[in-house]
C-alpha cells in the first residue's frame, strides 16, 4: 500500500493506493488533527510520498512517518524526477502541489495542457506536449475572496459557498455568490484564453481539479476533464518515477 499525502494551506488529503486509489481521507491542515499513525498502522504501508505547501507541517509528518512507521517518505520538490522540464524562472519556488498536478496531468492526458487547481488559491499551469512546464498564473481562491469580503466590509456577511440559483442576485448573499462564482469563472476563462494565445497553443486541453472546482466549472467553457484527485494521482506517478 502506498500512502499519498497532499498538504494544502486549508486541507490535507491522504490517499491509499494499491493498484488504484482505494480511499481518500480529508483533514484540516492542522497537525494535531491528522491521525497519521492510526492510518499507517491500520494498513500495510510500503512507501509514502508527501507534497506540502506548509513546510512546517510537511516536515513534521515526514518525521512522524520515520519515527513511528519506519517509512522514509519521498518529498516532492523540483529536483525529483517528474517527467517535466521546467522553462520558468526559479523552479525551486514552484509549489509541490503544482508539480504533482502537472506530473499527474502529463501522465494521464495527452497534448498541450492547462491544469487549473481550485483550492485556497486558484492556480494555472501550462505544460506543452513535450513535457515542458512553460509557466502559469495564481489568483486568490473563492474561499479567500469570500473571507476577505466579509472581514474588510462592515455590512457584508460571511456566506456559505454554493452554486448560485440566479445570476441576478435578489438579496445580499445572492449578490455575493454571483460576484464570487460567476466572476471567478469569467476571470478563469480570460486567463485560459490569454495563455493559449500567448503560447500559441490554442488547442491546449483544460483540466480542472481541487476542492472548489465543482462550484466554478459549470460556468467555464471548454473544460475537458474534471479530476478531483489529480494531485494524488500525480504523487503516485512521482513515487513510481523516483522509487520503483
Residue 92 φ then ψ, to 5°: -65, -15
Residue 28 confidence (pLDDT): 87
Please check whether the domain covering 85-234 is classified as CATH 3.30.420.40.
yes
Q: Is 239 helix (H, G, I), strand (E, B) or coil?
A: helix
* Burial bucket for residue 122 (CB in 10 Å: 0-12, 13-18, 19+): buried
Q: Which residues contact 231 (CB under 8 A, 6 or more apart)?
A: 6, 13, 51, 97, 100, 101, 104, 117, 209
Q: Which residues are catalytic?
A: 97
Every domain of the chain and the residues it spans: 2-75, 85-234
* Coil, helix or strand at residue 24: strand
Specify the CATH class of 2-75 in words: alpha beta
Do 2-75 and 85-234 fold alike per CATH?
yes
Please calculate the CA angle 152-158-160 and round it to the nearest 5 degrees. Answer: 145
Placement of cell 460571511 in the chain = 158
Give exposure, 185-210, as e/b (b: 16+ Cβ within 10 Å).
bebbbebbeebbeeeebeebbbbbbb
Q: What are phi and psi of 136, to 5 degrees?
A: -175, -150
- Compute CA 96 distance to the chain's CA centroid, rounded to the nearest angstrom: 9
73-98 residues labelled b (16+ CB within 10 A) or e (exposed)? bbbbebebebebebeeeeeeebbbbb
User: 33 with 27: CB under 8 angstroms?
Assistant: yes
Give the pLDDT of the chain (244 residues) as one tens digit per residue. Answer: 999 999 999 999 999 999 999 999 999 877 657 787 787 777 788 999 999 999 999 999 999 999 888 899 999 999 999 999 999 999 999 999 999 999 999 999 999 999 999 999 999 999 999 999 999 999 999 999 999 999 999 999 999 999 999 999 999 999 999 999 999 999 999 999 999 999 999 999 999 999 999 999 999 999 999 999 999 999 999 999 999 6
Burial class (CB in 10 A: 0-12, 13-18, 19+), 158: exposed
Radius of gyration for the alpha carbons in the chain, expressed in angstroms and rounded: 19
Write the DSSP string, 28-95.
ES-GGG--HHHHHHTS---EEEEEESSHHHHHHHHHHHHHHH---PEEP-TTS--S-EE-SS-GGGS-
pLDDT at residue 34, as a whole number: 79
CA atoms within 13 A on the CB side of 88: 21
- List beta partners, residue 126: 114, 135
**10 Å Cβ neighbour count for 111?**
12
> Which residue is associated with the grid cell 488504484?
20
Amino acid at each position: 500500500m502506498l500512502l499519498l499525502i497532499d498538504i494544502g494551506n486549508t486541507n490535507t488529503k491522504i490517499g491509499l493506493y494499491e493498484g488504484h486509489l482505494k480511499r481518500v481521507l480529508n483533514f484540516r491542515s492542522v497537525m494535531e488533527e491528522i491521525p497519521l499513525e492510526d492510518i499507517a498502522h491500520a494498513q500495510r504501508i510500503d512507501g509514502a510520498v508527501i507534497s506540502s505547501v506548509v513546510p512546517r507541517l510537511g516536515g513534521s509528518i515526514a518525521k512522524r512517518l520515520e519515527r513511528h512507521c519506519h517509512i522514509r517518505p519521498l518529498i516532492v520538490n523540483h529536483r525529483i524526477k517528474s517527467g517535466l522540464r521546467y522553462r520558468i524562472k526559479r523552479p525551486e519556488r514552484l509549489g509541490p502541489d503544482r508539480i504533482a498536478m502537472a506530473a499527474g496531468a502529463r501522465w494521464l492526458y495527452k497534448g498541450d495542457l492547462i491544469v487549473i487547481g481550485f483550492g485556497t488559491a486558484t492556480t494555472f499551469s501550462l505544460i506543452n506536449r513535450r513535457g515542458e512546464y512553460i509557466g502559469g498564473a495564481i489568483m486568490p481562491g473563492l474561499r479567500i475572496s469570500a473571507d476577505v469580503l466579509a472581514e474588510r466590509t462592515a455590512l457584508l456577511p460571511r456566506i456559505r459557498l454554493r452554486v448560485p440559483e440566479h445570476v441576478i442576485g435578489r438579496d445580499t448573499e445572492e449578490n455575493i455568490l454571483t460576484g464570487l462564482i460567476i466572476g471567478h469563472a469569467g476571470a478563469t476563462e480570460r486567463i485560459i484564453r490569454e495563455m493559449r494565445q500567448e503560447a500559441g497553443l490554442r488547442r491546449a486541453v483544460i483540466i480542472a481539479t481541487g476542492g472548489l472546482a465543482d462550484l466554478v466549472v459549470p460556468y467555464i467553457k471548454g473544460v475537458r476533464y474534471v479530476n478531483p484527485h489529480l494531485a494524488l494521482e500525480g504523487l503516485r506517478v512521482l513515487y513510481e518515477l523516483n522509487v520503483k
